[in-house]
Amino acid sequence: MEFAPILVYSVISLLLSLISIGVSSLFASSFGSAYPEKLPAHECGSDPFDDARSRPDIRLHPVSISSIIFDSEVTSLFPWAVPPNKIGLSGFWSMMVSPSISTIGSVHEWKKGASDWE
Amino acid sequence: MFEHDFPALFPEIFLINATIILLIYGVVFSTSKKYDYPPLVRNAGWLGLLSVPITTPLVAVGSPLAVANLVYNDSVIDNSTYFCQIFLLLSTASTTVMCLDYFKQESSNAFESIVLISPPTRSMLFMISAYDSIATYSAIELQSLRFYVIAAPKRDSEFSTEAGSKYSPSGAFPPGILLFGCSMIYGFTGATNSEELAKILTGYEITLFGAQSSGIFMGILFVAVGFLSKITAVPSHMWAPDVYEGSPTVVTASLPIAPKISILANMLRVFISSFYDPTWQQPFFFRSIASMILGALAAMAQNKVKRLLAYSSIGHVGHPSIGFSCGTIEGIQSLLIGIFIHVLMTVNASAIVLALRQNRFKYVADLGALARTNPILAITPPITTFPYAGIPPLAGFCSKFYLFFAALGCGAYLLALIGVVTSVISCFYYIRFVKIMYSDTPKTWILYKPMDREKSLLPAITVFFLTFFFPYPSPSFLVTHQMALGPCL
């Protein structure tokens, strides 16, 4: 039931953002009749010289993959962090296994240079 | 308590630690400038191979040859898991031996492909001893993940990339079906543990018409379909030939060996001890017939060696399913013998294909005149493939005979008949090997480089076993009988 205000809040914020976009278009001058110089892509004043397509950078993928991995790590650490006094030492150590294995994984990633960004 | 399980979990703990040490060792030294960035594949391969003979005695010592439930009833140790685990470790060792020379020839520097052998071995050990549907599922996923990775290691090869991208969705689909089945069963019974499921489902009589619980029926059906698709039984075999052909030969060699043992061991646990019921036998029955027929007929039309191996392995999935369709102790025992001998034969065939692959050994016709260029190697395929076909004084005949005997003993006459007919059909392409090797004279003679010593041991040992299985089969019969009693009792 605590989620009902959040739902109302998100609807209101959606409306508010739509209003603030809409109001500016009401008062804009010369709407729809811009100079052609205003339309091309902004590349420091000159025309774009090469193809707009470029090879995707592979270095972006290790970043996103490792953030997915560590997100799931954090997800599994949340329920562990809440009742630490109820699970005792065996709970503590069995939970320490999983971060240490992901530490090994990140050591591998680090030594491989997957997180280098020269 | 959990603390007392550690002695029984020693093999798994050792494998995990060995993997970690090997991974760190490999990554530190392969990127070290001081040693001039050494390729560590062979080195890591030997170290990884070394971890197997250490794990095997740990399995042997850790299991007191008695029943023990571990990790809050999530896994179980008894005779059947014990022997299956040892067999799995031996087959892993043979896979690693095959890898040793391969990566050097391919000049591949990814030592991770060797390190990636140990984690799935550990999860297959867990899978064999899994006693809970959640444990089963997580173990299956862990072992398949590795194969998705190593099916596509060659970035410059289109075939390998295609195989990898075909394998990961089609390999991830069956566990999804399995998971849906498990959740149906859990939803309708409220239990995931095998023992509790066995108690709940005893005498449930889940027949299709007159169903008492359609939910449980659907659950068992989905679990059966998921498992059967994972071992490429026929209606869901489509990815297998492409994946087997496209992925590197070591992967092709290891795909039908270790995962099949572990999945079949887990299927025994799930289907024989948890849902012992005649209804799930119908999918097994039909898929067994379909696998045998398609395996035999489609393999006749193949010209490429790896596709031929794939279809032959699809056809051989039909044989364990015969054992499942019987559901008797003899049926399960014959299934286990069948797996044992099938794995030996596959190890042999894969080692030979790997040894010959250096000169682009791709088509069956490339074997031409092997009897003259390499006469001793040419003796090996007949000894290996004739048992595949089931020709008398060899091991494969023994396993097939015993399977059909069990099928007849439980009244599955149709299965035995189709099994015999498809074996006769499959003789065609096994004999074709011999014809090509011994009587064809090809235009271009292909001279193969000699095998390396490690790999040559594999065909030698397996040929010895396959030839001399028949004179003294009692140890394996005794062991498999013991194993069959595990899930049945």
For B466-488, give the DSSP string: HHHTTTS-HHHHHHHHHHHHHHH
Pairwise pLDDT comparison (B370 vs A100), residue with the higher score: A100
Give the integer Cα–Cα distance in Å for B466 and B392. 12
CB atoms within 10 A of CB B250: 25
Whether residues B24 and A104 touch (CB distance < 8 A) is answered with yes
pLDDT of residue A12: 96
The total number of structural domains that make up chain B: 1
Give the integer Cα–Cα distance in Å for B188 and B195. 16
pLDDT of residue A40: 73
Q: Which residues of A touch B28 (CB under 8 A)?
A: 111
Q: Which residues of A touch B20 (CB under 8 A)?
A: 101, 104
Inside any domain, residue B180: no
CA distance B382 to chain A (A): 46
Whether residues B24 and A112 touch (CB distance < 8 A) is answered with no
Q: Which residues of B touch A90 (CB under 8 A)?
A: 2-3
Whether the predicted pLDDT of A111 surpasses 60? yes
Nearest to B306 by CA among B359, B241, B368, B231: B241
Inside any domain, residue A100: yes
CA distance A110 to chain B (A): 9
Whether residues B23 and A104 touch (CB distance < 8 A) is answered with yes
CB distance B295 to B318 below 8 Å: yes
The total number of structural domains that make up chain A: 1
Nearest CA in chain A to B17: A101
Inside any domain, residue B199: no
3-state SS assignment for residue B363: strand
Of all residues in chain A, the percent with pLDDT exceeding 70 is 93
pLDDT category of residue A6 using cuts at 50, 70 and 90: very high
Kindly give the parts of chain B with pLDDT less than 50. none
Whether residues B2 and A90 touch (CB distance < 8 A) is answered with yes
Exposure string for B195-208, b = 16+ CB within 10 A, e = fewer = eebbebbeebebee
Inside any domain, residue B309: yes
Interface mutation target, options B3, B9, B16, B27, chain A, most CBs of A under 10 Å: B27
Domain containing B338 equals: 279-488
**For residue B110, what are the contacts with CB-CB under 8 A and spacing of at least 6?**
B41, B103, B153
| Assigned token pair, B83 | 């022997």
pLDDT of residue B403: 86
Inside any domain, residue A101: yes
pLDDT of residue A8: 95
Enter the pTM of the model. 0.87
CB distance B99 to B49 below 8 Å: no
Q: Which residues of A touch B27 (CB under 8 A)?
A: 107-108, 111-112
User: H-helix or E-strand containing A67?
Assistant: helix A60-81
Inside any domain, residue A92: yes
Classify the phi-psi angles of B63: left when phi > 0, otherwise alpha if psi is within -120 to 50, otherwise beta: beta
CB distance B346 to B259 below 8 Å: no
Give the integer Cα–Cα distance in Å for B401 and B417. 12
Residue corresponding to tokens 């009401």: A26
Q: Which residues of A touch B31 (CB under 8 A)?
A: 111-113
Give the DSSP letter string of B89-116. HHHHHHHHHHHHHHHHHTT---THHHHT
Query: In this predicted model, what pLDDT tens digit does every residue of A27-69 receive, in sequence order?
Result: 776 656 667 777 777 777 777 777 777 787 888 888 899 899 9
Chain A residues with at least one Cβ partner in B under 8 Å:
90, 94, 101, 104, 107-108, 111-113
3-state SS assignment for residue B75: strand
Nearest CA in chain B to A103: B20
Of A90, A101, A111, nearest to B28 by CB-CB distance is A111
**How far from each other are the two terminal CA atoms of chain A, in whole angstroms?**
49
Least confident of A79-83, A89-93, B146-150, B353-357: B353-357
pLDDT of residue B207: 57
Inside any domain, residue A79: yes
CA distance B4 to chain A (A): 12
Domain containing A98 equals: 57-110
User: H-helix or E-strand containing B135?
Assistant: helix B133-150
Helix ranges restricted to H, B154-304? 158-189, 194-201, 214-230, 239-246, 249-254, 258-267, 281-300
Whether residues B27 and A90 touch (CB distance < 8 A) is answered with no
Inside any domain, residue B429: yes
Q: Which residues of B touch A101 (CB under 8 A)?
A: 16, 20
3-state SS assignment for residue B180: helix
**How far from each other are the two terminal CA atoms of chain B, in whole angstroms?**
25
Residue corresponding to tokens 């996103």: A64
pLDDT of residue B179: 93
pLDDT of residue B65: 55
Of B3, B16, B31, nearest to A112 by CB-CB distance is B31
Whether residues B23 and A111 touch (CB distance < 8 A) is answered with no
Nearest CA in chain A to B26: A108
Classify the phi-psi angles of B369: left when phi > 0, otherwise alpha if psi is within -120 to 50, otherwise beta: left
